[in-house]
Amino acid sequence: MLFGGKGERFDKNQPKQFYNLFGKTIIEHTIEKFILPNIDFILIVSNPKFLEETIKILKKYSFLKKIQVIEGGNCREESTLNAINFLKKLLNYDDIVLIHDGVRPFVSKEIILKNIKIAKEFGTAVTAIQSENTIGIVKNNKIIEFPNRENTYIIQTPQTFKFGLLVDSFEKNIEKICSFTDDSSVVKKAGYSLQIVPGSKFNLKITTKEDILISEFLLRREKDERDI
Protein backbone atom coordinates (compact mmCIF):
# COMPACT_ATOMS: atom_id res chain seq x y z
CA MET A 1 0.00 0.00 0.00
CA LEU A 2 1.61 3.22 -1.18
CA PHE A 3 1.68 6.32 1.03
CA GLY A 4 4.99 7.65 -0.26
CA GLY A 5 3.79 10.85 -1.94
CA LYS A 6 4.05 14.38 -0.58
CA GLY A 7 0.45 15.29 -1.44
CA GLU A 8 1.30 18.94 -2.12
CA ARG A 9 -1.81 19.43 -4.28
CA PHE A 10 -3.79 18.69 -1.12
CA ASP A 11 -1.86 20.47 1.64
CA LYS A 12 1.75 21.68 1.69
CA ASN A 13 1.98 21.18 5.46
CA GLN A 14 0.23 17.84 6.00
CA PRO A 15 0.16 14.77 3.72
CA LYS A 16 -3.40 13.83 2.87
CA GLN A 17 -3.15 10.38 4.49
CA PHE A 18 -3.12 12.10 7.90
CA TYR A 19 -6.23 14.16 7.25
CA ASN A 20 -8.95 13.33 9.78
CA LEU A 21 -12.30 12.15 8.44
CA PHE A 22 -14.98 11.43 11.06
CA GLY A 23 -12.47 10.61 13.80
CA LYS A 24 -9.99 8.57 11.75
CA THR A 25 -7.15 9.45 9.44
CA ILE A 26 -7.44 8.53 5.77
CA ILE A 27 -4.67 5.97 6.27
CA GLU A 28 -6.82 4.21 8.89
CA HIS A 29 -9.90 4.18 6.67
CA THR A 30 -7.86 2.60 3.88
CA ILE A 31 -6.08 0.01 6.02
CA GLU A 32 -9.36 -1.21 7.49
CA LYS A 33 -10.61 -2.21 4.01
CA PHE A 34 -7.74 -4.69 3.73
CA ILE A 35 -8.12 -6.38 7.12
CA LEU A 36 -9.65 -9.47 5.53
CA PRO A 37 -9.10 -13.22 5.99
CA ASN A 38 -7.79 -13.36 2.39
CA ILE A 39 -5.00 -10.86 3.17
CA ASP A 40 -2.05 -12.37 5.06
CA PHE A 41 0.18 -9.32 5.36
CA ILE A 42 -0.02 -5.56 4.79
CA LEU A 43 3.07 -3.64 3.76
CA ILE A 44 2.92 0.15 4.00
CA VAL A 45 5.35 2.26 1.96
CA SER A 46 5.68 5.64 3.65
CA ASN A 47 7.31 8.95 2.83
CA PRO A 48 10.51 8.74 4.95
CA LYS A 49 9.71 12.10 6.59
CA PHE A 50 6.51 10.64 8.07
CA LEU A 51 7.67 7.10 8.83
CA GLU A 52 7.43 7.38 12.62
CA GLU A 53 4.01 9.06 12.50
CA THR A 54 2.71 6.31 10.20
CA ILE A 55 4.03 3.56 12.48
CA LYS A 56 2.44 5.23 15.51
CA ILE A 57 -0.99 5.44 13.85
CA LEU A 58 -0.94 1.81 12.68
CA LYS A 59 0.07 0.26 16.01
CA LYS A 60 -3.62 -0.03 16.93
CA TYR A 61 -4.10 -2.61 14.15
CA SER A 62 -1.17 -4.87 15.02
CA PHE A 63 -3.34 -7.37 16.89
CA LEU A 64 -5.65 -7.75 13.87
CA LYS A 65 -3.19 -8.10 11.03
CA LYS A 66 0.55 -8.27 10.46
CA ILE A 67 1.54 -4.79 9.25
CA GLN A 68 5.01 -3.59 8.30
CA VAL A 69 6.03 -0.02 7.42
CA ILE A 70 9.02 0.73 5.16
CA GLU A 71 10.43 3.84 3.51
CA GLY A 72 9.32 4.93 0.06
CA GLY A 73 11.53 6.11 -2.79
CA ASN A 74 11.96 9.26 -4.87
CA CYS A 75 9.00 8.43 -7.14
CA ARG A 76 5.95 6.20 -7.05
CA GLU A 77 7.52 3.28 -8.88
CA GLU A 78 10.69 3.49 -6.81
CA SER A 79 8.44 3.11 -3.77
CA THR A 80 6.90 0.00 -5.34
CA LEU A 81 10.42 -1.27 -6.06
CA ASN A 82 11.35 -0.80 -2.39
CA ALA A 83 8.33 -2.93 -1.48
CA ILE A 84 9.28 -5.61 -4.01
CA ASN A 85 12.83 -5.81 -2.66
CA PHE A 86 11.52 -6.08 0.89
CA LEU A 87 9.12 -8.88 -0.08
CA LYS A 88 11.69 -10.97 -1.95
CA LYS A 89 12.70 -12.73 1.24
CA LEU A 90 9.09 -13.46 2.18
CA LEU A 91 7.18 -14.43 -0.96
CA ASN A 92 7.20 -17.11 -3.64
CA TYR A 93 6.72 -16.64 -7.40
CA ASP A 94 3.00 -17.44 -7.39
CA ASP A 95 2.07 -15.44 -4.31
CA ILE A 96 -0.43 -12.65 -5.00
CA VAL A 97 0.46 -9.01 -4.33
CA LEU A 98 -2.12 -6.21 -4.35
CA ILE A 99 -0.76 -2.70 -4.86
CA HIS A 100 -3.13 0.02 -3.68
CA ASP A 101 -3.11 3.81 -3.47
CA GLY A 102 -3.17 4.58 0.22
CA VAL A 103 -5.52 7.48 -0.37
CA ARG A 104 -8.24 5.36 -2.00
CA PRO A 105 -10.14 4.56 1.22
CA PHE A 106 -13.42 3.53 -0.42
CA VAL A 107 -12.33 0.40 -2.27
CA SER A 108 -14.87 -2.36 -1.73
CA LYS A 109 -14.32 -5.87 -0.43
CA GLU A 110 -15.79 -7.15 -3.70
CA ILE A 111 -13.17 -5.34 -5.78
CA ILE A 112 -10.35 -6.65 -3.57
CA LEU A 113 -11.56 -10.25 -3.74
CA LYS A 114 -12.15 -10.07 -7.50
CA ASN A 115 -8.58 -8.78 -7.96
CA ILE A 116 -7.21 -11.75 -6.05
CA LYS A 117 -9.33 -14.23 -8.03
CA ILE A 118 -8.38 -12.84 -11.45
CA ALA A 119 -4.69 -12.49 -10.58
CA LYS A 120 -4.55 -16.12 -9.42
CA GLU A 121 -6.00 -17.20 -12.76
CA PHE A 122 -4.22 -14.86 -15.18
CA GLY A 123 -1.26 -13.42 -13.26
CA THR A 124 -2.52 -9.83 -13.48
CA ALA A 125 -5.60 -7.85 -12.45
CA VAL A 126 -6.06 -4.10 -12.91
CA THR A 127 -9.06 -2.28 -11.46
CA ALA A 128 -10.61 0.08 -14.02
CA ILE A 129 -13.86 1.72 -15.02
CA GLN A 130 -14.96 2.51 -18.55
CA SER A 131 -14.81 6.19 -19.40
CA GLU A 132 -18.20 7.87 -19.71
CA ASN A 133 -16.69 10.97 -21.29
CA THR A 134 -15.11 11.67 -24.64
CA ILE A 135 -11.33 11.61 -24.29
CA GLY A 136 -9.10 13.88 -26.35
CA ILE A 137 -5.41 13.28 -27.00
CA VAL A 138 -3.66 16.66 -26.85
CA LYS A 139 -0.31 17.78 -28.24
CA ASN A 140 0.98 21.38 -28.21
CA ASN A 141 -2.36 22.49 -26.74
CA LYS A 142 -4.29 21.04 -29.68
CA ILE A 143 -6.53 17.98 -29.81
CA ILE A 144 -4.98 15.55 -32.28
CA GLU A 145 -7.13 12.45 -31.71
CA PHE A 146 -10.36 11.19 -30.15
CA PRO A 147 -9.91 7.53 -29.16
CA ASN A 148 -12.93 5.25 -29.23
CA ARG A 149 -14.71 5.76 -25.91
CA GLU A 150 -15.68 2.08 -25.76
CA ASN A 151 -11.98 1.21 -25.53
CA THR A 152 -11.07 3.92 -23.03
CA TYR A 153 -10.84 3.06 -19.33
CA ILE A 154 -9.89 5.01 -16.21
CA ILE A 155 -7.32 3.02 -14.25
CA GLN A 156 -7.73 2.64 -10.49
CA THR A 157 -6.20 0.45 -7.80
CA PRO A 158 -5.75 -2.17 -6.50
CA GLN A 159 -3.51 -3.51 -9.22
CA THR A 160 -2.73 -7.12 -8.49
CA PHE A 161 0.00 -9.46 -9.74
CA LYS A 162 1.72 -12.75 -9.16
CA PHE A 163 4.87 -11.76 -7.34
CA GLY A 164 7.37 -13.34 -9.74
CA LEU A 165 5.77 -11.55 -12.68
CA LEU A 166 6.00 -8.25 -10.81
CA VAL A 167 9.67 -8.81 -9.96
CA ASP A 168 10.49 -9.62 -13.59
CA SER A 169 8.65 -6.52 -14.85
CA PHE A 170 10.49 -4.13 -12.53
CA GLU A 171 13.88 -5.73 -13.20
CA LYS A 172 13.36 -5.32 -16.94
CA ASN A 173 12.53 -1.61 -16.53
CA ILE A 174 14.69 -0.68 -13.55
CA GLU A 175 16.86 1.85 -15.41
CA LYS A 176 13.86 4.03 -16.28
CA ILE A 177 11.54 3.12 -13.44
CA CYS A 178 10.71 6.73 -12.47
CA SER A 179 9.40 7.44 -15.97
CA PHE A 180 6.35 5.30 -15.13
CA THR A 181 3.42 6.65 -13.12
CA ASP A 182 1.58 3.39 -12.57
CA ASP A 183 2.48 -0.21 -11.71
CA SER A 184 0.42 -1.78 -14.47
CA SER A 185 2.27 0.26 -17.10
CA VAL A 186 5.56 -1.25 -15.89
CA VAL A 187 4.10 -4.75 -16.23
CA LYS A 188 2.69 -3.95 -19.66
CA LYS A 189 6.05 -2.59 -20.84
CA ALA A 190 7.66 -5.86 -19.75
CA GLY A 191 5.41 -7.69 -22.21
CA TYR A 192 2.67 -9.08 -20.00
CA SER A 193 -1.04 -8.80 -20.74
CA LEU A 194 -3.29 -7.03 -18.24
CA GLN A 195 -6.69 -8.34 -17.17
CA ILE A 196 -9.35 -5.80 -16.18
CA VAL A 197 -11.39 -5.98 -12.97
CA PRO A 198 -14.46 -3.69 -12.89
CA GLY A 199 -13.88 -0.81 -10.51
CA SER A 200 -16.28 1.76 -9.10
CA LYS A 201 -16.87 5.50 -9.21
CA PHE A 202 -16.88 5.31 -5.42
CA ASN A 203 -13.27 4.02 -5.47
CA LEU A 204 -12.11 7.62 -5.21
CA LYS A 205 -8.49 8.71 -4.96
CA ILE A 206 -8.31 11.69 -2.61
CA THR A 207 -6.10 14.20 -4.39
CA THR A 208 -7.47 17.68 -3.63
CA LYS A 209 -9.45 19.37 -0.87
CA GLU A 210 -12.56 19.16 -3.10
CA ASP A 211 -12.34 15.36 -2.84
CA ILE A 212 -12.91 15.66 0.92
CA LEU A 213 -16.51 16.77 0.34
CA ILE A 214 -17.16 13.63 -1.72
CA SER A 215 -15.33 11.52 0.88
CA GLU A 216 -17.57 12.76 3.67
CA PHE A 217 -20.63 11.78 1.64
CA LEU A 218 -19.19 8.31 0.94
CA LEU A 219 -18.39 7.75 4.62
CA ARG A 220 -21.96 8.64 5.58
CA ARG A 221 -23.16 6.21 2.91
CA GLU A 222 -20.97 3.42 4.29
CA LYS A 223 -22.22 4.09 7.82
CA ASP A 224 -25.84 4.02 6.68
CA GLU A 225 -25.26 0.67 4.93
CA ARG A 226 -23.70 -0.82 8.09
CA ASP A 227 -26.66 0.38 10.16
CA ILE A 228 -29.27 -1.24 7.92
Say which residue, 223 or 29, is predicted with more confidence.
29
Topology of domain 2-227 in CATH is Spore Coat Polysaccharide Biosynthesis Protein SpsA; Chain A (3.90.550)
Residues 43-81 have pLDDT tens digits of 999 999 999 999 999 999 988 889 999 999 999 999 999
pLDDT at residue 7 greater than cutoff 60 = no
**Range in 87-91, 143-147, 221-225 the model is least confident about:** 221-225
Q: Where are the domains of the chain?
A: 2-227
Q: What is the model's pLDDT at position 63? A: 87
Residues 171-210 have pLDDT tens digits of 999 999 999 999 999 999 999 999 999 999 999 999 888 8
pLDDT at residue 5 greater than cutoff 70 = no
Instruction: Give me the DSSP letters along the chain.
Output: -EE----TTT-SSS-GGG-EETTEEHHHHHHHHT-STT--EEEEEE-GGGHHHHHHHHGGGTTTSEEEEEE--SSHHHHHHHHHHHHTTT--TT-EEEE-BTT-TT--HHHHHHHHHHHHHHSEEEEEEE--S---EEETTEEEE---GGG-EEEEEEEEEEHHHHHHHHHHTGGGGGG-SSHHHHHHHTT----EEE--TTS----STHHHHHHHHHHHHHHHHHH-
